Chain A
Amino acid sequence: MIDGETNMKREDDFEEQVREGLRAGEPAAGFADRLMQRIAEEEAAAKRPVVVAMPKPKLRLWQANAQKWAVAAMLLAVAGSGAVVQQKLEQRRAGRAAAEQATQQVMMALQITSNQLQHVNDRINGQ
């Protein structure tokens, strides 16, 4: 038979053992150093200037349309000048072809004339 006093003693003993087993223990070595490092990093980050991008001004409706028209006009101008250049190149190519043809005709005429002169010369010498 367990009397009240013995039971209380057992309780005390048990609680004392729990208390002893749950004593606070130190963290891993260097805990404070790691913490101070983190604090220094946080402070450095807080001091770094914050770069804020300038917001683009909002365009009014007519400004937005004017921009569109300007872009369209520029594209048209580029396309138009391209067409003019193309036309000039075509003309130059056609002129070169005509000159070539004329040269060939002159050469042919000279050849014919030369042949005829040769023929006349042969006949004179033959007589």
Chain B
Amino acid sequence: MQITVNREPRKITGANLSTTLTELGFTSPAIATALNGVFVAAADRDTTTLRQNDKLEILSPMQGG
């Protein structure tokens, strides 16, 4: 199915958010996720399924003030 990952279209086969992150190469533990604008805790990724046209945001630490 096709979803949007950080505003870029991506095709995935993963059954849930955890497997999708691995499939897309996001293996760092220092990431946080939101699906369609709703926060998804790391502990809930295994049970969070994805649907066609979902919008996935993946954030990581960066410099800031």
A binds B: no
> What residues of chain B have their CB less than 8 Å away from a CB belonging to chain A?
none
